[in-house]
Chains A and B, each alone.
Chain A
Amino acid sequence: GAVVSQHPSRVICKSGTSVKIECRSLDFQATTMFWYRQFPKQSLMLMATSNEGSKATYEQGVEKDKFLINHASLTLSTLTVTSAHPEDSSFYICSAQKQGVEEAFFGQGTRLTVV
């Protein structure tokens, strides 16, 4: 199989604090991971592409200093939402690709609420 585990599944934080979300590929090495954001009843929005050992590539309009991505190993990528504000409240989802395979496998998602 291809299992991607994302943690935490839900988090509530105070405005101005930072939140870290982890994405792990459990049974394969993920050369590339992707981070998405999804607002209620809207489509997936790609935020950034993360490659192991290199800097993430951010989509236009996504603040790289606010959404810090680290892909330190072939099985772990993290997204840190810094200085969170209520408008950052959303569903954040990671996905991972095996080398040479095009389909993406998604983590369970993280529901972030900033109060």
Chain B
Amino acid sequence: QKEVEQNSGPLSVPEGAIASLNCTYSDRGSQSFFWYRQYSGKSPELIMSIYSNGDKEDGRFTAQLNKASQYVSLLIRDSQPSDSATYLCAVAPNQAGTALIFGKGTTLSVSS
């Protein structure tokens, strides 16, 4: 069974620090990876996608992918209290029209 694993947290960081969120996946053939942010009581929101090995930066967010290690990470620089949320890692199965496989999410708490 294809799985996506994340530490549930909570991960607590002070305001201004770098938050590092990690994810591993079981299907070596996966090609597409996503990070979603979910605030309490709200639905998930796509914040990053990554398809190639290496880093992809978007503002304060950097996604990192290492397919050989089956590892995806999300770095949040200059963390703000508004970044406090649950971050979901998602992997696309290699089959069109099938649902993304989500991890259980890591809860991030940024203290001011």
Could you tell me which A residues sit within 8 Å of B by CB distance? 6, 31-32, 34, 43-44, 46, 49, 51, 91, 93, 95, 97, 100, 102-109, 111
Report yes or no: A109 in contact with B46, Cβ–Cβ below 8 A. no
B residues within 8 A CB of A34?
A: 99
Q: Chain B interface mostly helix, strand, loop or mixed?
A: loop
Q: Could you jot down 29 A-B contacts, CB within 8 Å?
A: A6-B43, A32-B97, A34-B99, A44-B102, A46-B99, A49-B97, A49-B99, A51-B97, A93-B43, A95-B99, A97-B97, A100-B96, A102-B32, A102-B92, A102-B100, A103-B32, A103-B34, A103-B49, A104-B46, A104-B99, A104-B100, A105-B46, A106-B36, A106-B43, A106-B44, A106-B46, A108-B42, A109-B43, A111-B41
Interface size (B, Cβ < 8 Å)?
A: 22
